[in-house]
Structure 1
Amino acid sequence: MEKLKQRILKESSVLSNDVLRMDALINHQVDPELIMEMGREFADRFEGQSITKVITVESSGIPAAFATALTLGVPLVFARRKKTLIADPDVYCERVPSFTKGMVTDIMVSKQFLSAKDHVLYIDDIIANGDAAKGLIKIIETSGASLAGFGVVVEKTFQSGGKSLREQGVRVESLVQISSLENGEITFE
């Protein structure tokens, strides 16, 4: 998506050779029109896959996943990172390290919302090492649901996440691929 690339160049900032801050676009502030374009693009790329649900991990993946689910006309399910007082106790759960948070967290999906009847599309904001993605895919597999693929807004190809998922046979569709953040410069593939 050329428009997304231009917005990343204009509104994002490189924090290190590994970290890109996209707060003005998808991680803190959200441009609804741009998010809806992303959702339409993901829906087009996975057209004809008989998707029953879109799934993501809270919280930054929710806007793009919501736009995709709305376009496809299916429910959105998101994995929670924190257990609440009213949370369903019957959940699928995986421990995953977070690259940006620098800590390990649990991700949980209620068994009520994910079953062997589902064919899900996983949408997320960014993939670096792919730990959260691997954890959510493990939850999908444990539930018996099938995975149509993984759509990601930004793939950092200089990190192993996307490549690792492809090697596992997962269809990965990236709206933008970044090959380097060296010297504070964003380089696209």
Structure 2
Amino acid sequence: MKLLEDAILTRGRVKDGDVLKVDAFLNHQMDVPLINEIGKEFYRLYQGQGVNKILTIEASGIGIACITAQHFGVPVVFAKKTQSRNIDGPVYTSKVTSFTHQREYDVIVSQSFLGPEDRVLLIDDFLAKGSALLGLIELVRQSGATIVGAGICIEKGFDVGGKLVRDSGVHVESLAIIRELHDGKVIFAD
């Protein structure tokens, strides 16, 4: 998606350790018109697939998922990284490791929000190592729901996550795939 790639090139920053900072427009401060276009694109890619739920993981994916959900006219469920007193009843749970925070989380979704009747589109801002997305896939599989696919804003194509998720049988559509981060520059896949 050229609009997203342009935003990455003009407003993103590459830091040491293969870190791409897009907090100026995607996952801290949010450029709502840009994210609306991202939501439209995910809708174009997955319309007609019977999506009736969108699932993401807290926190960075929530805004993107919500705007995408408006285009589908469906609710958003987000996997929480901590058990809280306001989650009652049985839950689905899986483990994810955060590349950004360098720690492992148990993520949970209340069983009352996902079930066998659901057709789920996964949405997230980044796909790198794949842990978050694989954790979401596990939650959906526990629920008996059907995974329609995964919509990813930015994929680090040089990392293992995309292959792991695709090899698990999930159709992934990434709007910007980075071939490499080199000398402070972003190089996109062809």
TM above 0.5: yes
- The aligned counterpart of 2:20 is 20
1:57-99 deviation line (CA, Å, top 9, x unaligned) = 0110111111111100011100011122222242101111111
Matches within 5 A, 1:1-189: 1-189=1-189
Q: Following the alignment from structure 2 to structure 1, what is the Cα–Cα distance between the partners of residues 162 and 139?
A: 18
- Measured in 2, the distance between the counterparts of 1:186 and 1:148 equals 30
8 Å Cα contact 1:140/1:146 also seen in 2: yes
Superposition TM-score, scaled by structure 1 size: 0.97
Q: What amino acid does structure 2 have at the position aligned with 1:129?
A: K
Give the whole-Å Cα distance in 2 for the aligned partners of 1:169 and 1:104.
24
Distance in 2 of aligned mates of 1:163 and 1:92? 25
Partner SS, residue 24 of structure 1: coil
List structure 1 segments (4+ residues) > 2 angstroms apart after TM superposition.
none
Structure 1: which 5+ runs fail to align?
none
Contact 1:78 1:109 in 2 (8 A): yes
Cα distance per residue 1:22-55 (max 9 Å; x no partner): 1101111001111111001001100110011011
CA distance in 1, matches of 2:40, 2:115: 25
Counterparts of 2:159 and 2:17, CA distance in 1: 11
Q: Tell me the C-alpha RMSD between the 2 structures.
A: 0.9
Could you tell me whether the CA contact under 8 Å between 1:16 and 1:181 is conserved in 2?
A: no
TM-score by length of 2: 0.97
Residue identity over aligned pairs, in percent, reads 44
Q: Which amino acid aligns with 1:175?
A: L
Task: List per-residue Cα deviations over 1:85-137 (Å, max 9, x = no partner).
Answer: 22224210111111111000111101010001101000100000001111110
Consecutive unaligned residues of structure 2, counting only runs of 5 or more, are none
